[in-house]
Amino acid sequence: MEINVILSESFEKWLKTLEYAESTVYLSVRYVNDFFFYLKSKDIKNLEQINPATITGYYKHLQTRPQKKQTGGLSQNYIVSNINAIKRFSKYLQVTGKGNLEIILQIPVNKATNKTILSQEEIKALYQATDNTELGIRDRAILGIYYGCGLRRSEGTALNVKDVMYKERLVFVRGGKGNKERYVPMTERVKDDLLDYIFLIRDKVKRHNQSTEEALFLSERGKRMHGNSIINRLHQMATKAKIQKEIGLHTLRHSIATHLLQSGMTLEEVSQFLGHSSLESTQIYTHLAHE
């Protein structure tokens, strides 16, 4: 089968039909299109021409390819995500009967070093990259939820304004991993940043759009913000802060977990804070904190 845009669009529809997360769909299609571009450079125009050596060659290409927007090479996290997207594409081909990619590549991943962690100085730089505009005040609230409270991406986007219990200094997290609910404490600074956003910005956006949306984070149109929109804001903060790392919302969660352990908090306390179902999931951060 010929490798073309139609194949990429069909792959995207398949991912959406299976209800993959919005970010997974976006990145999978993007990475597969990058793979197509590589194949074109090797004069490979049909799926039948792809073999295990092709995949291995692409993996080596990623290991030596420089970043497009920043200096240095691609992170291991980026490379693994790229290869996983191709594996997802291979599954799509098999299920739909469009072809079969034999991917036997095994990437050794050290779980203790596969997580990108920001230093406390870099977190400070992110905060300093915000300003007192409407977007800047919302950006600080976003940092408060994803770094200060360590929420997962989906947990943050699912928050409603009533979930911020500022008198108790707690954030109520519903629909966490495994549909578990929990209360997460917030510092005085996080509370102040959230209140500034809620009463100075969010209420204004709601009135302007005559919105009845209950979501905590609202777009300029008064709609619930999606994960990709929040990630885009984080990337803009990181660029302004001159952070030379590929980061996402999960990076903020990994960072706060590491910083809490470095500050002397026990493994059990950090596990409860993160909403982990077992200490085994939290144990990895002890290695990161030591490093």
Q: Which of 182, 224, 250, 287 does the annotation list as catalytic?
A: 250
Pairwise CA distance, residues 273 & 281, whole Å: 12
Q: What is the CATH number of the domain that holds 198?
A: 1.10.443.10
Pairwise CA distance, residues 30 & 85, whole Å: 9
**Which residues in the chain belong to E strands, given as ranges?**
164-165, 170-173, 182-185
Pairwise CA distance, residues 282 & 62, whole Å: 30
Q: Which of 58, 92, 197, 285 does the annotation list as catalytic?
A: 285
- Annotation marks residue 197 as catalytic: no
Evaluate whether 102 touches 272 at the Cβ level (below 8 Å). no
Model pLDDT, residue 79:
81
115 within some domain: no
Are residues 41 and 130 part of one domain? no
Share of the chain above pLDDT 90, in %: 44
Domain boundary among 96, 128, 160: 96
Model pLDDT, residue 55:
84
DSSP 255: H
- Annotation marks residue 276 as catalytic: yes
Are residues 152 and 77 part of one domain? no
Label residue 126 exposed, middle or buried (CB < 10 Å: 0-12, 13-18, 19+): buried
81 within some domain: yes
Are residues 286 and 149 part of one domain? yes
Evaluate whether 194 touches 142 at the Cβ level (below 8 Å). no
Quick one: pLDDT band at residue 7, thresholds 50, 70, 90? confident
183 within some domain: yes
Question: What integer is the mean pLDDT of 156-183?
Answer: 88
Model pLDDT, residue 189:
96
76 within some domain: yes
Evaluate whether 59 touches 81 at the Cβ level (below 8 Å). no
- Annotation marks residue 169 as catalytic: no
Are residues 227 and 147 part of one domain? yes
Are residues 173 and 62 part of one domain? no
Are residues 279 and 171 part of one domain? yes
Q: How many residues are listed for the chain in this entry?
A: 291
Helix, strand, coil share (%) of the chain residues, nearest 5: 60, 5, 35
Average pLDDT score over the chain: 85
More confident of the two residues 112 and 14: 14
Model pLDDT, residue 114:
59
Site of tokens 């578990």? 180
Q: Which residues contact 57 (CB under 8 A, 6 or more apart)?
A: 42
Q: Which of the residue ranges 32-41, 108-117, 282-291 would you say has the lowest mean pLDDT? A: 108-117
- 221-244 tens-digit pLDDT: 999 999 899 999 999 999 999 998
282 within some domain: yes
Sign of CA dihedral 24, 25, 26, 27: positive
Question: What integer is the mean pLDDT of 273-290?
Answer: 71
Are residues 184 and 247 part of one domain? yes
Pairwise CA distance, residues 51 & 1, whole Å: 14
Q: Which two tokens stand for residue 80?
A: 């693994």
Q: Which of 91, 177, 182, 245 does the annotation list as catalytic?
A: 177
Q: Which of 115, 153, 253, 259 does the annotation list as catalytic?
A: 253
Give Rg (Cα) of the chain.
21
State the number of CA atoms in the 13 A half-sphere of 179 facing the CB.
0
21 within some domain: yes
Model pLDDT, residue 153:
92
Residue by residue, DSSP assigns 23-69 as HHHHHHHHHHHHHHHHHHHTT--BGGG--HHHHHHHHHHHHHPBPSS
* Statement: residue 119 has pLDDT above 70: yes
Q: Structural domain of residue 35, as residue ranges?
A: 5-96
* pTM of this prediction exceeds 0.75: no
User: Amino acid identity of 280?
Assistant: E
* Statement: residue 30 has pLDDT above 70: yes
Are residues 151 and 65 part of one domain? no
Structural domains in the chain (count): 2
108 within some domain: no
Evaluate whether 70 touches 247 at the Cβ level (below 8 Å). no
Are residues 178 and 92 part of one domain? no
Share of the chain above pLDDT 70, in %: 85
Q: Which of 88, 138, 140, 152 does the annotation list as catalytic?
A: 152
- Annotation marks residue 290 as catalytic: no
Model pLDDT, residue 291:
55
Are residues 214 and 155 part of one domain? yes
Model pLDDT, residue 276:
83
* Statement: residue 214 has pLDDT above 80: yes
- 63-115 tens-digit pLDDT: 887 766 555 677 776 787 888 888 888 888 888 887 766 665 554 444 444 57
| Cα 233 versus chain centre, distance | 12
- Annotation marks residue 285 as catalytic: yes
SS3 label, residue 89: helix
More confident of the two residues 169 and 58: 169
Q: What is the CATH number of the domain that holds 88?
A: 1.10.150.130
More confident of the two residues 280 and 46: 46
Question: What integer is the mean pLDDT of 14-38?
Answer: 85
Are residues 127 and 12 part of one domain? no
Quick one: pLDDT band at residue 139, thresholds 50, 70, 90? very high
Are residues 256 and 126 part of one domain? yes
Label residue 229 exposed, middle or buried (CB < 10 Å: 0-12, 13-18, 19+): middle
132 within some domain: yes
Model pLDDT, residue 230:
95
* Statement: residue 25 has pLDDT above 70: yes
